[in-house]
Amino acid sequence: MPKPFPPEFRRDVIAVARKGEAPLSQIAKDFGISESCLHRWLKIADTDDGVRPGVTTSESAELRELRRRNKTLEQENETSHAAWLSSCVADGGSEGGCLVVGRSGGQAVVQAAQEPVEQVALGGGVPVVVRAGSC
């Protein structure tokens, strides 16, 4: 992938193109870029300036960051949940227990058991009963 042009260069090219004093093909040639590149830059600038509807550069960057953050939080939640379930299974000597009654959106649906229970089944969306101290 070629190195991106500096933002100042893009702004200068867009300003010249918007003046309309020369055809876009000539402006692109004079600045050493392709005509399709110039059209793309103009389209992006029009969107960023509110002339054309669409997602602005800053909105796109924010959305990208929010998606990245959401993915990180989902991974942390999965890890935390798996650790909790492991500790629930490992705590075999406590009274009471946790009853995993199903799955929703990739997460276990857990209810507190009213009496001590033993481990019945584990994983694969199959209901799981484990003996543990607290849920």
pLDDT of res. 82: 74
- Domain residue limits, the chain: 7-54, 65-131
Separation CA 91–CA 93 (nearest Å) = 6
Which token pair is 64?
A: 């990208």
pLDDT at position 38: 96
> What pTM did the predictor assign?
0.55
Cα separation of 14 and 8, whole Å? 10
Model pLDDT, residue 80? 80
The per-residue pLDDT for 107 is: 57
Q: Judge residue 33's burial from the number of C-beta atoms within 10 Å of its C-beta, 0-12 exposed, 13-18 middle, 19 or more buried.
A: middle
Contact 39, 13 (CB under 8 A): no
> What length is written for the chain?
135
Q: Which residues in the chain show pLDDT less than 70?
A: 85-135
**Two structure tokens written together for 122:** 């584990």
Q: Which residues pair with 131 in a beta bridge?
A: 97
> Looking at the domain covering 7-54, what would its CATH class be?
mainly alpha
Residue 92: predicted pLDDT: 46
Q: Are 60 and 76 in contact (CB under 8 A)?
A: no
